[in-house]
């Protein structure tokens, strides 16, 4: 069964933040100090997450991604993963991680049949890593990358492209794909940093990233994108991996968006740029039946904005999106 929204887009994919906490402080995502984390009782419990995912899977949402905050900061995350892979209708489970605490779990992730891991890595230089993330954790992240590749887990590296911070990393990151079957994806910086945009305009949009790549790799050529992909994909002859560009700020892919999001406190977002459209946690905790919750979810799916610009314009405070990505999950 395929579920469609009001714009006739199939809905097949949920991204769920298991926590708002993170062990890094990437400057483009979170302020250095003064973050108000949610009290534990405000997070969805594992049981609540499992019930929500089971209801969504029954509706045809078969792809699940765990994100955060940093998912591995949530205590006992592997117990949740073991349960989620057993839910009928959950066909593939993915995880997005910064890799700091991930390495010890890679072998079990493989055994559990994890479909892919997205590793967030903006630089291959330990000093720049510390400047960007405000933490000295480059070593453990590289160890995670090594193990993911060793265990043949499909791996994507996500790098946000930031003027004055990691432009010198673009070419080395592409070079990684020469020997490794990894997809490196360059992402436009978005305003979700918990404090408002850093720049009046975006320095590195998808077009500039593309021309920079093309200038240095003239053989770079377009390859077919999987259905509903956010990344536009490219290959370089002789390279084992591939390169992608994600126009996350320019929002060029809304017309095929198949995803919904659930924040760490259980708020449904049917667009990254909306301000939350349904309090699932409240429904779960008020004793509503599966049927009632399912109907409320379906109502929300029938009112999706057509794109991220419409979603942002209809925020009740009429302000541009600026909350930290750590509450949304990317
Ligand atoms: N902690 C995990 C990680 O680092 O992958 C999962 C959550 S993190 C919020 C998910 C992704 O969002 C990361 O790849 C991060 O780089 C990206 N992200 C966070 N803030 C962003 C922003 N302002 N613009 C673009 N990407 C952002």
Ligand 1-lining residues (CB < 6 angstroms): 22, 28-29, 67-68, 70, 96-98, 120, 158, 160, 187, 189-190, 192-193, 248, 325-326, 329-330
Q: 2 pLDDT band (50/70/90 cuts)?
A: very high
Residues 6 or more apart whose CB falls under 8 angstroms from that of 179 comprise: 240
pLDDT > 90: percent of the chain: 85
**Measured from the CA of 190, which atom of ligand 1 is nearest?**
24
| Rounded distance from Cα 117 to ligand 1 centre (Å) | 14
Per-residue model confidence (pLDDT) at position 198 = 57
Find, among 69, 12, 64, the residue nearest to 325 by Cα.
69
| C-beta neighbour count of 205 within 10 angstroms | 17
Q: Candidates 97, 98, 325: which one to mutate for ligand 1, based on the most atoms within 8 Å of Cβ?
A: 325
- Do the beta carbons of residue 191 and residue 207 sit within 8 Å? no
The kind and range of the H/E element at 225 are none
pLDDT tens sequence across 296-312: 999 999 999 999 999 99
Residues 6 or more apart whose CB falls under 8 angstroms from that of 273 comprise: 251, 305, 308, 309, 311, 312, 321
Per-residue model confidence (pLDDT) at position 328 = 79
| Rounded distance from Cα 9 to ligand 1 centre (Å) | 25
Query: Residue whose CA is closest, atom 4 of ligand 1?
Result: 98
**Measured from the CA of 192, which atom of ligand 1 is nearest?**
23
0.85 surpassed by pTM: yes
Six-digit token string for 218? 């003239």
d(CA 157, CA 121): 6
d(CA 121, CA 314): 33
**Measured from the CA of 96, which atom of ligand 1 is nearest?**
5
pLDDT tens sequence across 84-125: 999 999 999 999 999 999 999 999 999 999 999 999 999 999
Per-residue model confidence (pLDDT) at position 325 = 81
| Rounded distance from Cα 129 to ligand 1 centre (Å) | 14
Q: Candidates 22, 30, 94, 120: which one to mutate for ligand 1, based on the most atoms within 8 Å of Cβ?
A: 120
| C-beta neighbour count of 82 within 10 angstroms | 13
Mean pLDDT for the stretch of residues 202-223: 96
Mean pLDDT for the stretch of residues 62-71: 97
Q: 202 pLDDT band (50/70/90 cuts)?
A: confident
């Amino acid at each position: 069964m395929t579920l469609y929204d009001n714009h006739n887009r199939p809905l097949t994919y949920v991204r769920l933040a298991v926590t708002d906490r993170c062990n890094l402080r990437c400057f483009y995502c979170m302020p250095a100090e003064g973050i108000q984390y949610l009290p534990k009782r405000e997070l969805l419990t594992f049981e609540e997450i499992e019930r929500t995912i089971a209801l969504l899977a029954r509706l045809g949402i078969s792809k699940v991604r765990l994100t955060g905050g940093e998912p591995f900061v949530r205590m006992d995350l592997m117990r949740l993963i073991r349960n989620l892979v057993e839910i009928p209708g959950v066909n593939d489970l993915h995880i997005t991680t910064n890799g700091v605490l991930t390495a010890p779990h890679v072998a079990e992730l493989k055994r559990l049949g994890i479909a892919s891991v997205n590793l967030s890595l903006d630089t291959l230089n330990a000093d720049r890593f510390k400047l960007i993330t405000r933490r000295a954790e480059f070593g453990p992240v590289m160890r995670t990358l090594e193990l993911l590749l060793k265990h043949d887990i499909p791996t994507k590296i996500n790098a946000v492209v930031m003027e004055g911070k990691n432009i010198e990393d673009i070419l080395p990151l592409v070079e990684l794909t020469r020997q490794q079957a990894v997809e490196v994806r360059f992402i436009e910086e978005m305003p979700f940093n918990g404090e408002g945009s850093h720049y009046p305009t975006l320095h590195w949009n998808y077009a500039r990233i593309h021309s920079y790549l093309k200038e240095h790799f003239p053989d770079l050529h377009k390859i077919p994108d999987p259905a509903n992909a956010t990344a536009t994909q490219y290959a370089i002859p002789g390279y084992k991996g591939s390169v992608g560009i994600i126009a996350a700020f320019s929002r060029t892919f809304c017309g095929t968006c198949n995803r919904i999001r659930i924040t760490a406190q259980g708020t449904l977002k049917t667009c990254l740029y909306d301000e939350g459209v349904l309090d699932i946690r409240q429904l779960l905790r008020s004793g509503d039946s599966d049927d009632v919750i399912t109907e409320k979810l379906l109502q929300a799916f029938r009112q999706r904005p057509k794109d991220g610009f419409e979603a942002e314009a209809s925020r009740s405070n009429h302000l541009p999106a600026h909350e930290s990505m750590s509450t949304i999950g990317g």
